Chains A and B, each alone.
Chain A
Amino acid sequence: MSGINDFAFKMGTVNGTGSASANSLLMQAIFRMGIPVSGKNVFPSNIQGLPTWYEIRVSADGYTARPEALDLVVAMNPSTYARDVAAVRPGGYLLYDSSWPMDDELDRDGITVLGVPLGKMCVESFTGDRERTLLRNIAYVGVLAALLDMDMDVIGEMLREKFSKKKSLLDANFRAIGLGLDYAKANFTCPLPFKLQRMNATTDHILIEGNAASALGCVYAGATVGAWYPITPATSLMESFKEFCQRFRVDKATGEKKFCIVQAEDELAAAGIVIGAGWAGARAFTPTAGPGISLMQEFVGLAYYTEIPAVFFDVQRTGPSTGMPTRTQQADLFSLAYASHGDTKHIVLFPANPEECFYLAVQAFDLAERFQTPVFVALDLDIGMNDWMCRRLTWDDAYRPDRGKVLGAEELEKIKKFSRYLDVDGDGIAARTLPGVHPKGAYFTRGSGHDKHGAYTEDSDDYREVMDRLAHKLATAALAVPAPEIIRTPGAEAGIVSLGGCHAAVQEAVHRLAAQGIGLDYMRVRAFPFGREVAEFLESHERCFVVEQNRDAQLRSLLTIETGVPRDRMTSVLDYGGLPLTAGYVVHAVTSHLAGVSA
């Protein structure tokens, strides 16, 4: 790191002061310069007044995992000066607002400190507290533009797009940028040794957060009913769905909506609404996070047992309990895989990035309807709420939803008797009917014990017959869910397994390890229940590292339970502090283990 188009920096600010828009402006400007970039928002569970950071990594090679070292830290929040000074890598730079002098004690050898009186300049140049506060952020963008050699045309273009209808704001923003830019050019050697240089590597890409991409997937899948209870970090999924629907699903002439979003009283109700809608034949979904998943457990069991399609997005955050709501984790794997009481098992999909969120969201609805069962899409906060650079999304207009086995009026007219839970085809999937379609299709849906005809039962054999078919159905589903992504390295000495948001870091780690002469075959699990390829990969490697973001090695346990591969053949690499995984963490864990084994 630390060269042209290969460095990382972060801004330490106060939340609620408008720094978020300054930071996205920075990231977007770099992206528009054609340079691969990623941003991680490390924010508090708070509305205003607490410290917040935004980390930006620039990587000509296209690596998007969280950076391990920071070449430059922008310290805009006096209350975190000490932490921000400490965060700079040796030889790096600290930029701070010298309107609030820094205690001499914080001075550190080996870093360069750049002071800019941003607050003072903004007070002198602008009127009104709010304007001064907001523009102070834009002013540091100006300083960074000079230090990093940012393309001012790009920044100008973005400001004009953003404030096209607010001339006064546009002018103020330009002036604020100018304040920072001019000060830096007059007082510092610009640019710094690490800087930006135009590339052409982002043309086929977009910047999007996973929640928005998932919501878009719901729109394209044809979902019409969305139910939810607001919860961080899943909220923006439904808000995005609403925005997309306002745009694409409102009849221009009549104003009528081809969707129905219900903000429920709690997550229990949200799950119930989704199940009711699925029962009635709509594609329905709910976005939530761990606490919501806990509340939905009872309903998930109902959907599993009564065989009703339902899609749940779990944007995982740090648990248990309220935990750290604005930090990321992958600790809901157990809660999802076997959600609810009794014998249950569910389809869970693990997108690695927003791009995959879009496609897996669509597939989630197809799988839910085909297998008539709940499907979870397990995101995490990092994927859900951070803007990721992704390949442009594409859509095949020939796509039509897989509605599964649904008997229509004509088919029902022809049959003698409809039995809801009868396995006619031997794949474990029985045909269903929708209410209101035909008198012959009527049946009684019940979460109580039922036989293959849907009738109430307390008979052991009748009960077991349905339960065994459900097991068979989920086994069939294991063959239909997305296969793992396997990347082999010739001469690999071990395997490495991971999932979801860890992918970016693990992929980078695999490359770095290969450069050190440590070859690893990499398997990224994309779905539960695991298909045959997952077991085969584990069986064919004497040792596998299993990288995941939770304390208890939940993925490794699931792999052991479901594939029978002994637990001691899998070495866990666990990162559960709540921040996105770094490649360095994985590299260190793998090399330490190998060194220990050889010693």
Chain B
Amino acid sequence: MTSIAKPPVVHPGLQRNALGLTKRDYEGFMSTLCAGCGHDSVTAAIVQCFFELDVPPHRAAKMSGIGCSSKTTAYFLKPSHGFNTVHGRMPAVATGANAANQTLTYIGISGDGDTLSIGLGQFCHTIRRNVNMLYVLENNGVYGLTKGQFSASADVGSKSKRGEANAQQPIDPVQLALTLGATFVARAFSGDKAQLVPLLKAGLLHKGFALIDVISPCVTFNDHEGSTKSYRFTREHAHEVSAVGLVPLKREISAPEPDASGMISVTMHDGSTVRFRSVNDAYDPTDRDAAIGHVRAFQKRGEVVTGLLYIAEGSPDMHEQNHTVSGALTDVPYEALCPGSAALDALQEEYR
């Protein structure tokens, strides 16, 4: 993860957002991933998402574990605090950071090895706690940095670069999250930015844990014939069930009026609205059981279902469950935390 800074050149004609910042202000260091890596597309989509949502970069916190995907937090939002933690344990660190300061915008980047093997427990429990964060799982079915071992998301029969077929059942993060009670579950394809950017935005605005499983092919170790996580396979087998049209509060007027038929609107925590256009049948992303059934049905056919699969706004996040004071705990002055000497004296009467 060498840090190669990008040249600080900004074209005067670059579009500026409400904060007067250009997209360049949301970029990071140069990526050191392989050319064509799906993760770089995700990085670009994240840059666009934060830029368009007018998030002040220094008010965002980028959390990651270890692996190719986790490296990417260095490649976007340079003016944000980033934390590249230990393998599989980003969810705990994100939980702690959020516990201390819930006013930041948390984005966690992980991979299939980081999330579904070494970090499976932490991933599950962070969903249980409903920590308010966007969790992007860049899923390519292999361990890249250690050169091509199968990960836990590899499908049965999917072939490694050496031709070996995977025999073990995959762990599907989407089905897992749905059964664990996640309040926002989506799947996307790194090759489809038009779908990914609105999903990222909706995930960021969601109050609670938002999972986006992004099929993000590994060009070096898992993009060959016989792999079910290749660009070609994903393009041929991806089926979008619901497309997202995000209508941020601030931009309500400029948003295009969607077609009224089959539309579902969900009001997000900040007042903006997410509208779903059901692409497939009459897909209802507010029905968890139906979502699980849908995902399983597609999986049986060997197809990959994408789009916003499930959303439940209004579920209490970790702090709402805890009844924590609003604002950051780090902003509570010490004087309001320490009971003082008189209280200590009084308390000790009970210890006699």
Contact = CB atoms under 8 A, between A and B. Distances in A.
Interface of A: 28, 31-32, 202, 205-208, 216, 219-220, 222, 224-225, 227, 248-249, 251, 255-262, 264-266, 268-282, 284, 298-299, 302, 392-397, 399-401, 433-439, 441-448, 455-456, 458
Interface string B251-279: 00000000000000000000000000000
Contact of B348 (A32, A273, A275, A392): A392
B344 A281 contact: no
Given A256-B324, A258-B325, A444-B3, 16 more contacts: A216-B344, A224-B330, A258-B329, A258-B332, A260-B324, A269-B125, A271-B92, A273-B93, A278-B100, A282-B101, A284-B100, A393-B344, A436-B59, A437-B58, A444-B73, A444-B74
Contacts, number: 229
Nearest to B344: A395
B322 A279 contact: no
Interface of B: 1-3, 56-59, 61, 63, 73-74, 78-86, 89, 91-101, 103-104, 121-122, 124-125, 129, 318-319, 322-326, 328-330, 332, 334, 336-341, 343-345, 347-348, 351-352
Nearest to B125: A265
A64 B68 CA distance: 57
A442 B57 contact: yes
17 contacts: A219-B339, A222-B334, A248-B339, A249-B337, A260-B318, A264-B95, A269-B122, A272-B91, A276-B95, A299-B86, A442-B79, A443-B81, A444-B83, A445-B84, A446-B82, A446-B84, A447-B85
A276 B336 contact: no
Which 6 residue pairs across A and B have the least CB separation, nearest first? A276-B96, A272-B92, A282-B100, A435-B81, A273-B96, A276-B93
A441 B59 CA distance: 11
Nearest to B322: A260
Contacts of B121: 265-266, 269
Contacts of A435: 58, 61, 80-81, 97, 101, 104
Given A280-B100, A282-B101, A442 B80 contact: yes
A163 B338 CA distance: 31
Contact of A455 (B3, B56, B94, B97): B3
Contacts of A433: 81
B316 to A, nearest CB: 14
A202 to B, nearest CB: 8
B86 A447 contact: yes
B92 A447 contact: no
A262 B99 contact: yes
A195 B324 CA distance: 52
A269 B319 contact: no
A279 B1 CA distance: 21
B344 A280 contact: no
Determine which residue in B91, B96, B100, B323 has the highest number of CB atoms from chain A within 10 A of its CB, and name it: B96
Contact of A265 (B1, B93, B122): B122
Contacts of B348: 206, 392-393
From B322, B328, B338, name the one whose CB has the most chain A CB atoms within 10 angstroms: B338
B101 A280 contact: yes
Contacts of B73: 444
Given A225-B99, A265-B125, A435-B97, A401 B104 contact: no
B145 to A, nearest CB: 12
A206 B78 CA distance: 54
A207 B104 CA distance: 43
A277 to B, nearest CB: 4
| Residue with the highest number of chain A CB atoms closer than 10 Å, among B1, B56, B97, B98 | B97
B53 to A, nearest CB: 16
A220 B329 contact: no
Which of A258, A264, A273, A282 has the largest number of chain B CB atoms within 10 A?
A: A273
Nearest to B63: A276
A220 B332 contact: no
A345 to B, nearest CB: 19
Contacts of A249: 337
A513 to B, nearest CB: 33
Nearest to B350: A206
Contact of B337 (A224, A227, A281, A299): A224
Residue in B59, B83, B103, B343 whose Cβ sees the most chain A Cβ within 10 Å: B83
B100 to A, nearest CB: 3
Contacts of A262: 95-96, 99, 129, 318
Nearest to A260: B99
A273 B99 contact: yes
